[in-house]
Amino acid sequence: MITLGVPSKGRLMEKTFQWFADRGIEMRRTGSDRDYGAEIADLPVELRLLAAGEIPRELAAGRIHLGVTGSDLVQERIPAWDQAVEVVAEMGFGHADLIIAVPAWWVDVTSLDDLDAVAADFRKLHGHRLRIATKYHRLVRDFLRDKGVADYRLVDSQGATEGTVAHGTAEAIADITSTGETLRANHLAILGDGLIHRSEATLFRSRTAPWGDAERASLAAISARLDG
C-alpha cells in the first residue's frame, strides 16, 4: 500500500477531492473535521490529510509516496527539489504567482535593473541594504542572483507581507498573488520582469519513499485511473 498526502482543509482540499473524483478516484472523509480521517474506497492507498505546507517535508523524507501541494512550496522547502520528488500531474487549480513588488510611488522603478540601481543607491544613502520582505527565501534569493540583483537583504515575513512596506519594515516585497488586488490596496506595483514562479496545485511522487513491487503496483493502479 502506498500513502497519498492531500491538503486537509479549505478550497484546496475540496478541489483536490474533485480533481480525483473527475478521474474515477473517490476520496471521502471518515470522521469529523477535527480528526482528519479519510480514505479511498477501492484502491490500495492510504489517504492522509495534511497541511499543504507539511506535504513537501513528508515527500522529501519519504514518509508519503505521493502528495498534492503547491509547486511554490515544494520548490521553496525542498533543496534540490527535483532530485527528491518528481511531478506526476499539474492539476489546473490553485494558481498563484510569486512576484516582486515595490511601492507604487517608485514610478521610475519598473524592472529588475531599476531595482538593482535603487538598491545600490539606497545602501550608499542609508548605510544598510534595501530590505525585501518574503516567506520564500530560497526562491527569491536564487532568482535575484540569476538576474544580477545585489545590495539587498531578505527579511522574513510570516504575516501579511503586503503590509510590511507601509509599516516601514521593508522597502519591497516578494510574495504570492492571485489577482493583484491586495497589492494594489497596499499601493504596491509588480515589476514588469518580477515574476519568480507561477505556482499551481501539483501531484508529486517522492523519489525517496520505498518503492517495492507492491508500491509500484499501487502506483500503477492509480495511474491507470488518472490516465483513463
Question: Exposed (0-12), middle (13-18) or buried (19+): which is 4, by Cβ within 10 Å?
Answer: buried
Percent of the chain with pLDDT over 70: 97
Phi-psi region of 205 (alpha: psi -120 to 50; beta: other; left: phi over 0): beta
Number of other CB atoms surrounding residue 198 within 10 Å? 12
The string of pLDDT tens digits covering residues 153-195 is 999 998 889 999 999 999 999 999 999 999 999 999 999 999 9
* Contact yes or no for 183/177 (Cβ under 8 A): yes
Q: How far is CA 40 from CA 26, 147, 193, 219, 227, in A?
A: 6, 45, 43, 14, 18
pTM, two decimal places = 0.91
Hey, is 115 helix, strand or coil? helix
